[in-house]
């Protein structure tokens, strides 16, 4: 059973979303230019097709105009959808890269220490299992052990290397109940993907409606 802790993302969200805003700011002008060029291209295409049927009968011309408008709109919508998907994919890749740089900073040690405290505070069990990345166990092992020792409150705690790539952070499991608290950076990014996608789409719509 996974535990959802209200506010467990607070520290990470602040720096994560600051990065998102910076990344978005860099892309915004490029995006506006690309979408304006696409709109102008579609407008020219519509005018070209309209001229091609101008000599048709009025009824047929009207029907064809509606058909062309619908087709052009459909193509435009498809282009917008592709642009959204490409930008979200690019943003997620950027966040993954940024996260792997973040775990090399002093700020990451504060992130670890604060979340170890939160995780131990929320767990009632006496037999607990921490899983950290291999990198953290090798490079920050002493810091992690000191943090856990200082905060464990007589609980029996085991530290192991995670069997999967969690990027950073950790998971904490109650050995007896199976309750799992997931504070890994990989999961934090996955959990935030829906929010990031919604934010990106809203900002893209703002550009298109501007």
pLDDT in tens, 46-72: 566 666 655 555 556 566 556 656 665
Query: Sheet containing 156-161: which strands, arranged edge to edge?
Result: 2-3, 180-182, 170-174, 127-132, 156-161
SS3 state of residue 63: helix
Q: pLDDT tens, 116-127?
A: 998 998 888 899
CATH superfamily label, 106-188: ATP synthase, E subunit, C-terminal (3.30.2320.30)
Distance of CA 208 to the CA centre of its chain: 22
Tokens of 81: 């959808």
| Residue written as token pair 């007589």 | 154
What's the whole-number mean pLDDT along residues 13-22?
55
Q: Which residue has the higher pLDDT, 188 or 113?
A: 113
Q: What was the pLDDT predicted at 10?
A: 47
Residues 74 and 93: their CA atoms lie apart, in Å, by: 29
pTM here?
Answer: 0.61
Whether 44 and 72 have beta carbons less than 8 Å apart is answered as no
Residue 20 half-sphere exposure toward CB, CA atoms < 13 A = 21
Domain spans, the chain: 26-103+193-209, 106-188
């Amino acid at each position: 059973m996974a535990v959802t802790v209200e506010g467990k993302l607070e520290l990470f969200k602040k720096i994560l979303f600051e990065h998102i805003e910076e990344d978005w700011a860099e892309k915004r002008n490029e995006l506006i230019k690309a979408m304006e060029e696409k709109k102008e291209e579609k407008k020219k295409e519509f005018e070209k097709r309209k001229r091609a049927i101008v000599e048709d009968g009025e009824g047929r011309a009207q029907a064809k105009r509606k058909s062309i408008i619908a087709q052009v709109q459909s193509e435009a919508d498809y282009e917008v959808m592709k642009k959204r998907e490409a930008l979200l994919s690019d943003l997620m890749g950027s966040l993954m890269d940024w996260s792997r740089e973040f775990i090399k900073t002093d700020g990451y040690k504060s992130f670890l220490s604060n979340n170890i405290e939160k995780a131990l505070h929320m767990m009632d069990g006496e037999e607990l299992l921490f899983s950290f990345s291999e990198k953290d166990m090798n490079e920050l092992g002493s810091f992690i052990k000191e943090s856990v020792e200082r905060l464990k409150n007589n609980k029996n705690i085991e530290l192991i290397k995670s069997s999967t790539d969690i990027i950073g952070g950790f998971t904490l499991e109650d050995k007896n109940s199976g309750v799992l608290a997931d504070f890994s950076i990989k999961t934090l990014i996955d959990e935030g993907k829906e929010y990031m996608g919604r934010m990106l789409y809203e900002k893209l719509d703002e550009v298109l409606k501007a």
